[in-house]
Structure 1
Amino acid sequence: MPIEGYGLWKGTLKAWDIKDARTDPETPHGHIKFTDDSRRTLDCAINVKSSDIVTEVVYWKFRGPDNFFDPSHPIIAKLKGLSERRFYDADSPSDSRLGLRIDLLRDGFIDLKAGHIPPWNTPGVPNDDIVDFLQDFVLNGVAKKAEVYIFGQQYGSKNGLHQIHMVQGSFHNPEHPNWEEENGVHQDGGIFLHFPEEDKWEAFFIAFASQAWKTNDGTGYPDTTETLAQHILGGPPPIIPPVPGVINVKIHSALVNPVGPDNSPVLEMIRIRNTGDADVDLTGYVFENQNRANQPIAARGGGRPVVAVGKEVEFPAGACYLPNNRDGRILLKDARGTVIDMAQYRKAQASREGQWIVF
């Protein structure tokens, strides 16, 4: 169902506020402050983390010196034609004729495979996370008094915008049914900056890594079970029968909430099953959680971490701590960093102390 209040706001950049982006662990947002012809200070709230099991966002950035947004794209002609700095409602009779809508999967803005999936927040490490990248992009625009064009949905108060991300391809989530209900085409968010003195255009687009990379042309609902994260990272592989000479290992189950103190690297365990036709040495493989904390796989008691044909072996989660008070995700990566398998669990599953979750 298309979202109401979708459109474009043209204004002038004024400031960037990262307080919530750094301090809110559940639904962090960065905030762009801008003004329009009404001289009000307006707010644009940008998600920098998802509330889904896969918490990362994907971003695509078009910024100089060699990667400015293509000025010949049809959307730029439409933006240049806007003389007033105000909100343009894509559904209003006076504004809809301007065709001010964007679709990240259909308008040719982005190469999906070129998307980046950074961590949310790594304090003290410069230029390393999504907040850093957004801050650099926005503050450059603030310093140069750039014109800003933001696609998104008006707040209820109509003093700003949110939904500054891809608004399609969301799967069914019983805890957040509105995500699926908001799926639609030609209603995505995005940010364009124009630097009049140089006549250059920059752009920044965001999607959630848990959204589908392909959607229905009419509804915006997923047309594939593969997420953006899987499409970009190349994994996990589809479930297929064992092939001779091919490594077939997967995450079978996990003890997320062992009896005893929470977040114990000694007690939390992950079980790997070998469905192939040869023993597999997992030396160099790692477990990684939804916060990108990882743990090299090691056999308990020493020796090499070998999983025999048709067997299951348990390994400590270690630094890949498994949260039991919220949704979680486990990646199995090989020595080259390739995603071999992914397992996801819900908070309700993890709340049962001492029980293994089977995937």
Structure 2
Amino acid sequence: MPVADYGVWKAKPVSYTYQTKKDDPVSPHLSLIFTDGRPGQARAAINIKSGDHSDSRLVYWLSRPFENPIVHKLEKLDSGFHLLKGTDEQRLGGVALDYIRGNLFQTQTGRLLPHDIPGEDNDILDVLRPLLDQAISNEATIYVYGSHFNDGKGIHNVHMNQGSPRRWERDNGIYQDGGFILQFKDHWEAVFIGFASQAVHTKDNPPRAGNPIPQNSYKTWADFLDPEVRDEQRMLDELASTPVIINQALVNPLGPDNQPESKRETVSLINRTEQAVDLTGWKVRNKVGQFEELPSGATLLAKESKVFEIPHCPLSNQGGLITLLNAEGLKVHGVSYTKAQTKQEGGVVSFNL
């Protein structure tokens, strides 16, 4: 069954301790101490090594600056823990995190990192410690996602909670991923942590939502981000998984909404490959799950860019998500945009890819 007591905790980070390879070579954690204005302090237990002995590396994504419409909802929360499990926020476009469906980061920017090895900037402690030091010294606000401790004094499962194999499969689910988001005075940053053995694609619907797809021989983050792969092969692999990307969107066209004389919202797609890509059956999805199926027979020639109208997939001027799905329903690419990016009527939103 999915993880229990999933939610987000708004607080101020105070300090942290961590276990080195010498302290705990099997299941080490970083303990982040925080306060939410109530008496006492709480702890976030953050995994810094996978329990999967076949590959104990973590996957680390840093989004800096973090520009996603979820921040508009987060900053309105009161300090303290907010249960999301079973609420209307545990869905596409809600407060809950989903690494695959939420367009929180570009997957190819992830790093596979071990727990604790000699050298600089080459393990998970090397990247987490400076970030947390900065957050504490700048009195940033932190939003920690995961499962509430039974005693109410902390939070764990601060990592991806889907696509897991074998004995961890029981915890798989969608819109229940952990991680933490930092709100500084002038910008936001976000850290997302997964396990190397977790799947890149997972099931959308019951039964077994959040389980790897396909069921056997699925691609893991270790496969997708393997640092041993040569640059040329890495580019070929990336083009195979993401042959088409969303590079622009007209979110706020000139004229009033839903009027015949007004221009329609559009997305611009680019074929990154040297071959034509048949888009028959492909769909564009917005932040509330509405779809626009691309025209039957639509094709992008090699390196071609084309603009598509999406009248059945309205894009919110309050910030949103745009996701491109292939004919099998798998995510090919996804982007997000904020309310601030849509202020100019008729202006095109461009995405840094």
- Calculate the TM-score normalised by the size of structure 1: 0.58
Question: What secondary structure sits across from 1:23 in the alignment?
Answer: coil
CA contact (8 A) 1:89 1:96 kept: no
For residues 186-243 of structure 1, give each alpha carbon's deviation from its aligned partner in whole angstroms, at most 9, with x where no partner exists.
00001001112x2x1011000000011110012000003221101222889xxxxxxx
CA contact (8 A) 1:121 1:130 kept: yes
Aligned to 2:245: none
Question: What secondary structure sits across from 2:61 in the alignment?
Answer: strand
Matches within 5 A, 1:89-238: 89-91=83-85, 99-123=94-118, 125-172=119-166, 177=167, 179-196=168-185, 198=186, 200-218=187-205, 219-224=209-214, 225-233=218-226
Matches within 5 A, 1:83-94: 84-91=78-85
Distance 1:95 1:38 in 2: 24
Distance 2:40 2:120 in 1: 33
Distance 1:96 1:113 in 2: 25
For residues 76-127 of structure 1, give each alpha carbon's deviation from its aligned partner in whole angstroms, at most 9, with x where no partner exists.
1110111x2110001376987994311000010122222101221014x333
CA contact (8 A) 1:168 1:188 kept: yes
CA contact (8 A) 2:197 2:222 kept: yes
Distance 1:6 1:137 in 2: 24
CA contact (8 A) 1:89 1:95 kept: no
Instruction: Decide which moves more: 227-236 or 180-189.
Output: 227-236
CA contact (8 A) 1:20 1:30 kept: no
RMSD value, Cα: 2.2
Q: 1:96 to 1:133 in 2, by over 3 A?
A: closer
State the identity as a percent: 35
Distance 1:85 1:138 in 2: 19
Distance 2:125 2:164 in 1: 23
Q: What letter corresponds to residue 115 of structure 1 in structure 2? A: G
Matches within 5 A, 1:258-277: none
Structure having the higher Rg: 1
Unpaired stretches in structure 1, ≥5 consecutive residues:
237-359
Structure 1's consecutive aligned runs of 4 or more residues displaced over 3 angstroms after TM superposition are 19-22, 91-99
- Following superposition, the deviation at residue 132 of structure 1 comes to 1.4
Matches within 5 A, 1:1-359: 1-19=1-19, 23-52=23-52, 53-63=54-64, 68-70=65-67, 73-82=68-77, 84-91=78-85, 99-123=94-118, 125-172=119-166, 177=167, 179-196=168-185, 198=186, 200-218=187-205, 219-224=209-214, 225-233=218-226
Q: What letter corresponds to residue 81 of structure 1 in structure 2? A: K
Q: What letter corresponds to residue 69 of structure 1 in structure 2? A: F
CA contact (8 A) 1:168 1:221 kept: yes
- Calculate the TM-score normalised by the size of structure 2: 0.59
Q: 1:96 to 1:105 in 2, by over 3 A?
A: closer
- Following superposition, the deviation at residue 21 of structure 1 comes to 6.9
Q: What letter corresponds to residue 56 of structure 1 in structure 2? A: R
